[in-house]
Chain A
Amino acid sequence: MGETTAPEKIRIGLTVNDVRHDLLVEPRTLLADLLRGDLELTGTHIGCEQGVCGACTVLVDGTATRSCLVFAAQLDGAAVRTVESLAGADGTLHPIQQAFHENHGLQCGFCTPGMLMGACELLERTAEPDPDEVREALGGNLCRCTGYQNIVRSVCAAGRTMTADRNSTATTTATTTATTTNGAQA
């Protein structure tokens, strides 16, 4: 099969970190390369390009996914979240990032984006995971610096913080709702 004309590009609509992009992609473009090259979201790191290291993990429609093992062309209509979505616009760290900071959950930082996004998915599913659950969820993310202890500690701590935050928000909301019960709330 000799080289003939370049294969047709594929038009996709992709939402990345709540921003909608209409893109024309080569079929062979991996999601990881689309994010880093085309969209300049270089927070997603590419380690092994064969699905082993987990550094390129992002959320695709809420599911932790190896962005090096998915073609962008497959993702028409999908919503992707990358590590850039975590911190606030003012630079306020996400509770997971804050926990990694406080617990020395990163050293060189190469694996960290994948760890954070994997932790994101886990904490959506399990609010306060125990260390074994963290190890199971992040078992496919390799770190060559930390020895993992502090990463596990970080994710457990983030779970506790986020639960506490949710509880205090819930209390506030309940109070607010109570005071506006007679208001014109839709």
Chain B
Amino acid sequence: MKPAAFAYLAPRDLDEALDQLAEHGADARVLAGGQSLVRLMNARLASPAVVVDINRVPGLDSLAVTNGSGPATLRLGATVRQRTSELSPDVAAHAPLLVEAGAHVAHAPVRSRGTVVGSVAFADPSAELPTALLALDGRVVVRSRAGERTIEADDFFTGAFTNALDAGEMVVAIEVPGSPPGTGSAFVEVARRHGDLPVCGVAAVVTRSDDGRVSSARIALCGADERPVRARAAEDALTGSDGGADAVAEAAARAADGLSPRGDCHGSPDFRRHLARILTGRAVSTAVHRAAGEA
């Protein structure tokens, strides 16, 4: 199969891109790394009339940690490649979870072109990076001709392959807030083959206070529902606990509460719930140890 015909636009700056998105509305798709979009277009699962290629828009490839008045924030622009992110010392220091989760995404040639923001915007319910962003309490920065707004990751993923963008808007960056001292994270998944989308995956971010108690826990799952979701019952079980084996087991036992996984040839709903519990136990256990500085 080959893509259906479309008009190709290559805006030279962000204003031009936003004008084009405003003009063409739902007929237009933003092209960044293209590792999801072009695949869909080849299969004619997507046939946009207009493709807005943002790769030549200056500034969107910036990857920076900003130390404003508040805590440090990691900001990844819309054309930052996954490979660039995974090799960045800033990302490794600020949000190692993004690196750990990103290593599971496809293979190097795909990550060399594919973007972190593109994966987030694509909102595949099985994908690793949206789930990592959710666990990291990240934000999505979107722009339109009307201006800029920031959407919490918690509110961004509205369903399978759907997000909270309005017509004429595009994601210009994601932001990851800094973690307090005593924070550890982990990502684990089960996939049929290395590089495949996971059947189920779990991202956990755990912060322990000086007395060793878990002061906050964010656990996010992919492949476990219609969209990347928080395992709130598991978070509640862990928060305030001593982070010991019993607490981890309790969190794991509750990880599938309220989930509605879809069954397919890779796993039944029950199997995915099972994986959600097992993998939550592993991810949380690792995150707790890392929070205590035990690697």
Contact = CB atoms under 8 A, between A and B. Distances in A.
B110 A140 contact: yes
A73 B113 CA distance: 15
A27 B8 contact: yes
A74 B30 CA distance: 13
A69 interface: yes
A1 B39 contact: no
B266 to A, nearest CB: 15
B6 A7 contact: yes
Interface residues of A, number: 30
Contacts of A27: 5-8, 51
Given A57-B109, A71-B34, A140-B106, A30 B5 contact: no
Given A1-B27, A7-B7, A7-B8, A139 B194 contact: yes
B16 interface: no
Contacts of B212: none
Most buried by B among A27, A69, A70, A118: A69
Interface string A125-144: 00000000000110110000
Contacts, number: 93
A70 B195 contact: no
A64 interface: yes
Contact of A65 (B6, B42, B55, B112): B112
Given A65-B113, A66-B110, A69-B113, A51 B7 contact: no
Interface string A29-51: 01001000000000000000111
Nearest to B81: A63
B112 A51 contact: no
The 3 residue pairs across chains A and B that have the minimum distance between CB atoms: A140-B107, A27-B8, A7-B7
Interface residues of B, number: 31
A54 interface: yes
Contact of B108 (A7, A10, A70, A140): A140
A10 B8 contact: yes
B49 interface: yes
Interface string A62-97: 011110111101100000000000000000000000
Given A50-B42, A74-B55, A28 B109 contact: no
A8 interface: yes
Interface of B: 1-8, 10, 27, 31, 34-35, 38-39, 41-43, 49, 51, 53, 55, 106-110, 112-113, 194-195
A186 interface: no
Interface string A151-186: 000000000000000000000000000000000000
5 contacts: A7-B5, A54-B109, A69-B39, A74-B31, A140-B195
A51 to B, nearest CB: 5
Nearest to B34: A69
B38 A69 contact: yes
A118 B109 contact: yes
Contacts of A54: 107, 109
B113 A70 contact: yes
B35 A51 contact: yes
A57 to B, nearest CB: 6
Interface in A1-31: 1, 6-8, 10, 26-28, 30
Contact of A49 (B4, B42, B106): B42
Contacts of A69: 34-35, 38-39, 42, 110, 113
Contacts of B27: 1
